[in-house]
Amino acid sequence: MTAREKAKRYIIFLIGLLINSLGVSLITKANLGTSPISSIPYVLSLNFPFTLGNFTIVFSILLILLQLLILRKNFKAEHLLQIPVSILFGYFIDFTMILLAFVNPQSYVVKIIDLLIGCLILGFGVYIEVLANVVMLPGESFVRAITQTWNLEFGTIKVVFDVSMAVIAIVMSLMLSHQVNGIREGTIIAALLVGAIARQFGKQLSFLNEKLFPSVRQVREAEKTVCVPATVIAIGRQYGCGGSEMGKMLAEQLGYAFYDGHLIQEAAGTTGYSVDFVEKQEESMTNSLLYDLVSQMKMTENYETPKDKIYEAECKAIRELAAKGDCVIVGRCVDQVLKDNPNCLRLFFHASLSSRIRCIMERKSLNEKEAKADILREDKRRGTNYRYYTGKNWGAAENYQLCLDTDLGYDYVQECVKSALAAMRSAGQIMK
């Protein structure tokens, strides 16, 4: 990264910080509560002669000190950048509170409107900070310190942290003023909306990263121009449709290598996590709302949750396996991991629910009700995982070149796949 690009990133970060503070101030001025991370400073500002910005700075410094105690020798010099950022953020909040002095909504409808606009602004500010990818704010960095130290799930800890901030703020308000001030329905609404809004900005404005930062654009262009001579069949599949079995049979018929579950071992070997831990992390992606709520907190490329590390390790393993030779790879969002590979045929296998229930009943010795519940749970996990990491809908036809019903039998599937490979070669889409 050049000095010019680094300077640009910091300028963009400062703009995001200012927008962030404007969102916090407008949410606060709506008088329906404030965002969870600002709830303690706000309650203190209502009971002592100091501003919301002043208490935000003090609270941020406290979180930085707690990080130092948690991380100890792993506390790096770069963490100290949070101090000037926190001070600046506090002053930005006071500045924007003064700027919005005219905002004093009386009717509940106007308060809700101001709150929603504030959430929209705050969500955009969070997106800009993520785009800059230089510094984390103390709240998120504190959660990161906990998750890194004890290998916990970032999403869960972030939700616990936000809830804790709100609860502590309520207790403090009751102790200081004998009533609940500063924590209302707006706090819950902000917690629910800001993450989802930031994520939507990330999806809709994803092109900005390459346009603004030459180093990102150069890496992407280099990846796209790499010639991968091997042919890869990437398979996504519904649970219980026999997708893995079909993939293995295809690989044997075509003389291709086959890769499926052992990618877990590949990932475990590169992340330092045990195979059991990797399996549990993969199985835990079942609550799409939870990950929407905290998606804005996947703040920078410098930080990854255990689940993110596993995903990145699997992506790396997939690309390496795809480069080795002709192969069939099943699952792990492989169609999107290899979306820029010109020699990749992307397939999705599905089947009727009734046939999948019969398959799972036989495979796992379950009754019909248990098998159906198992299928719905696993399909939900796969869909949530796919959407979280790719931003796309799992099983949507536009993500694949061919969607096939395995109820029609292996012979049909095999002929369709061979025909698709031949058609892609004829069209020059596959380079061999």
pLDDT tens digits, 205-237: 878 888 888 776 666 565 555 555 689 999 999
Asked if residue 201 lies in contact with residue 120, where contact means CB atoms within 8 angstroms, the answer is no
Asked if residue 128 lies in contact with residue 15, where contact means CB atoms within 8 angstroms, the answer is yes
Which residue in the block uniquely carries the two structure tokens 């180093």? 215
pLDDT, tens only, 252-292: 999 999 998 776 566 556 665 666 666 666 655 555 445 54
Task: Name the stretches of the chain with pLDDT < 50.
Answer: 288-289, 292-303
Using CA atoms, how far residue 365 sits from 160, 355, 362, 380, in Å, is: 38, 15, 5, 21
How much is the pLDDT for 135? 86
How much is the pLDDT for 264? 58
How much is the pLDDT for 150? 85
Q: Which two tokens stand for residue 353?
A: 């629910």
Distance CA(328)–CA(324), nearest Å, equals 12
For the chain, the domains span 3-218, 227-426
Distance CA(142)–CA(66), nearest Å, equals 7
Which positions ≥6 away from 313 have C-beta within 8 Å?
A: 266, 267, 268, 270, 271
**Bridge partners for 398 per DSSP:** none
**DSSP run (H or E) holding 90:** helix 82-99
Distance CA(183)–CA(196), nearest Å, equals 21
Q: Which two tokens stand for residue 352?
A: 């009727």
DSSP 144-213: HHHHHHHT--HHHHHHHHHHHHHHHHHHHHHHHHSS--S-SHHHHHHHHHHHHHHHHHHHHTTTHHHHH-
Which positions ≥6 away from 117 have C-beta within 8 Å?
A: 26
Distance CA(122)–CA(16), nearest Å, equals 9
Domain covering 227-426: architecture: 3-Layer(aba) Sandwich (3.40)
Asked if residue 129 lies in contact with residue 20, where contact means CB atoms within 8 angstroms, the answer is yes
Angle made by CA atoms 417, 388, 15, in degrees to the nearest 5: 130
How much is the pLDDT for 63? 96
| Closest C-alpha to 126, from 74, 191, 221 | 191
The gap between the terminal CA atoms of the chain, to the nearest Å, is: 36
How much is the pLDDT for 157? 81
